[in-house]
Structure 1
Amino acid sequence: MRLNRITLMFPLALVLFEFAVYIGNDLIQPAMLSITQEFGVSATWAPSSMSFYLLGGASVAWLLGPLSDRLGRKKVLLAGVAFFTVCCLLILLTHNIEQFLALRFLQGIGLTVISAVGYAAIQETFEERDAIKVMALMANISLLAPLLGPVLGAFLIEHISWHWGFVAIASVSFLSWFGLKKFMPSAQESRAKQPFIYIFDDFKKVFSNHRFLGTSLALPLVAMPLMLWIALSPVILVDELKLSSLQYGLAQFPIFFGLIAGNIVLIKVMDRFALGKTILVGLPIMFLGTLFLILGVIWPLYLVPCLLIGMTLISFGEGISFSVMYRFALMSSEVSKGTVAAAVSMIMMMSFFVIIELVRVLYTHFHIWAFALASVTLIAVWFAQPRRVLKQVMQARQQQGIN
């Protein structure tokens, strides 16, 4: 399907739900210091709100992707949006941190609805380069969440209550349900009618594919520094560096504008170069950004400027790399795309959960050094096996006459 004003309505409806899911993290993370105080627990619990959110996304990816292959993308997507909406309202009834994190876990299923079902539908609906452009466009719109979230979160803390944030998120999600019901192509229906037990054979084929593993494992390496920043920045900036909630919110703007700029550059230049070239440019930029983080820790007087410059470079590099990398991962296997997208989602979400919780623990001992060194290590690892796999993919495409 070609990209035009009519066909664009489906991804716009999907990105409205994506915005709700993302702001479900970005709006709440700034409020976590207040929430931990309300529940009478340590501020070091704040990053767990995000890690349990991500763990929820990883827990059902194995089911939702294959289920959408068999029942149809639209049915599973609409059910997932409705489930997320209900969970956003149920969290208003929590009375302790355990109940709160349990509902955050269930809300995180919305992440898998997007990545294992919604993104698969986008890749199937549009031609290759149009699909990547749509993904980049969706990323730019959804990035309003991390831009607005910290500022709105600060407003919630100072003037009303964090509960109203979840009411607003549920309202946006409910609105997206109607848009998806109307505009999502009904042609996104099952083509694979094997018994459901065959999903295990499908996953075995996917995970035994070395090219899939190489391209998929690269995704969390690239996305992880920014995810760590989102999880830890309330503790770093507000709890440790004593910035105000408003200053914390404003500090996020250059970082996420960098990500938006990266996506815009990707859309503008991708037709001029072979797919993958922007990744080879973006990752060195990200590595340079991680070095700024180290410089800031070494010279504390310049810590905040170095953090902002470094994270802006990291986010820009991610912007020109991630959508192409995701496309390569999804198309690296011939198995049904719902199953492949689910496998990608599981790798990403489990990696996010494990690394965020690990760095959270290390942060209690080593503070900002833990964040900076983790970011450098993640990007450095990409230059080993994932980079080699990327070059193999690009070489294979060139031999097949595909740019």
Structure 2
Amino acid sequence: MKNSVQQGQNLSLSRATLMFPLALVLFEFSVYIGNDLIQPAMLAITKEFGVSSAWAPSSMSFYLLGGACVAGIMGPLSDRIGRKKVLLGGVAFFVITCLLILLTGNIESFLVLRFLQGFGLSVIASAGYAAIQETFEERDAIKVMALMANISLLAPLIGPVVGAALIDHVSWHWGFIGIAFLAFLSWFGLKAKMPNTQISIPKQPMSYIWDDYKKVFKNKTFLGLTLGMPMVAMPLMLWIALSPVMLVEELGLSSLQYGLAQFPVLGGLIVGNIVLIKLVDRLALGRTVLIGLPLMLLGTAIVVIGTIWREYFLYCVILGMTLVSFGEGISFSVLYRFALMSSEVSKGTVAAAVSVLLMMTFFVVIEIIRILYEYFHLWAYAISCFALIALWFTVPRGILKGIMQQRKANGEF
């Protein structure tokens, strides 16, 4: 079959093979901007629904919860019926839920639709990312993931500015119409360019899914790496969730100033991914993580310093979070690759397990910090970010060092 890829036959990176990742990243961009464009509008949305602004971060946490709740099904399903079918169905569902949210009239129905839209996150992680890892060679897969991250990062850069403009000039409803249109376009690209990976899993009863998950979750290397990933990603997630409240309500910035403040922070993540693409062929795999995490710890320490000297908080939080995002950029794709390949179970199931742990952790931590923020404000944000990065230097760092030593002993670069 012309557009199929046999499992075990990885492709090299070229202009032709990039068409599938580019179609996937258009959907990823749609899903991400579905959060980043809406977050700055949440103050207006909560006001429209007549509820407290403390509900604003829940738009993001329920979005992540939706992804976590179906990830456990999506991965094994894509193993059995094919990544392409699951991904195309997920894109169509996302488009429909983006249009349905236009009919909501209260915060409860709004959050239900946000929960359903979050299924798109799971489809990307369980079917899309797994297909990327299966399609390309190891280092090419990391490059593709970093390249996709850079394109999708236009969402948090553009989203706050566009979201602020929508609130100032039209309505938040138009944001969801635009998101649905982009996702609709990606459906056609994926249908045309996504390879049909040949399914090699025997037709077993669905009860075998539970056996696969037990194998994955009993793998200590998998658990250590995967539970370490939210520690790396969480500070930036908290920034996206809480920065509208911190910068607009606490510090009194305008919507435009809030949007502009995102550029250095998210720009750091883009630069980090570019540096990763340049260095991944030159350094031992995992070395960039050992460079990036100390930079992230320094960045969170700067945020804490800004909380102590409040008059410098704005400068400190932007500088600190820029370092955090740069460190995440040179680290996260490598950690994801190691976590996915740490188990011999089918990659759709492993990717789903990663997705479940990531998004459930994101949901729980964001909701906890949202509540703490009501009482401790900027201190809750600063100390949480510092503690999360510091925790990575315990078990996850030891597991990463062990993997790197094993690769060196096996002659792998």
TM range (shorter): over 0.9
Asked whether the 8 Å contact 1:77–1:113 carries over to 2, the reply is: yes
Q: What is the identity, as a one-letter code, of the residue corresponding to 2:219?
A: N
Superposed CA deviations along residues 193-231 of structure 1, whole A, max 9, x for unmatched, are 322110000000000000000111111010000000000
1:135-284, aligned counterparts within 5 Å? Answer: 135-189=145-199, 191-284=201-294
Q: Distance in 2 between matches of 1:15 and 1:354?
A: 27
Deviation at 1:347, TM superposition (A): 0.5
The alignment's C-alpha RMSD in Å is 0.7
Superposed CA deviations along residues 85-116 of structure 1, whole A, max 9, x for unmatched, are 10000000000000000000000010001111
Matching residue of 1:133: 143
| TM-score normalised per structure 2 | 0.97
Q: Secondary structure at the match of 2:197?
A: coil
Superposed CA deviations along residues 336-372 of structure 1, whole A, max 9, x for unmatched, are 0000000000000000000000000000000000000
Asked whether the 8 Å contact 1:36–1:45 carries over to 2, the reply is: yes
Superposed CA deviations along residues 303-341 of structure 1, whole A, max 9, x for unmatched, are 100000000000000000000000000000000000000
Deviation at 1:398, TM superposition (A): 1.2
Deviation at 1:265, TM superposition (A): 0.4
Q: Distance in 2 between matches of 1:192 and 1:221?
A: 36
Superposed CA deviations along residues 31-69 of structure 1, whole A, max 9, x for unmatched, are 000000000000000000000000001000100000000
Q: Distance in 2 between matches of 1:157 and 1:190?
A: 50
Deviation at 1:190, TM superposition (A): 5.2
Q: 88, 96, 101: which is aligned to 1:78?
A: 88
Deviation at 1:172, TM superposition (A): 0.2
Q: Does residue 369 in structure 1 map to residue 379 in structure 2?
A: yes
Q: Distance in 2 between matches of 1:214 and 1:78?
A: 32
Asked whether the 8 Å contact 1:278–1:320 carries over to 2, the reply is: yes
Q: Distance in 2 between matches of 1:193 and 1:104?
A: 34
Matching residue of 2:404: 394
Q: Does residue 60 in structure 1 map to residue 60 in structure 2?
A: no
Superposed CA deviations along residues 254-278 of structure 1, whole A, max 9, x for unmatched, are 0011000000000001111110000
Matching residue of 1:342: 352
Matching residue of 1:32: 42
| TM-score normalised per structure 1 | 0.99
Matching residue of 2:59: 49
Matching residue of 1:124: 134
Q: Distance in 2 between matches of 1:192 and 1:93?
A: 44
Deviation at 1:185, TM superposition (A): 0.5
Q: Distance in 1 between matches of 2:265 and 2:200?
A: 40
Matching residue of 1:69: 79
Identity %: 71
Q: Distance in 2 between matches of 1:326 and 1:35?
A: 35
Q: Secondary structure at the match of 1:60?
A: helix
Asked whether the 8 Å contact 1:330–1:341 carries over to 2, the reply is: yes
Q: Does residue 295 in structure 1 map to residue 326 in structure 2?
A: no
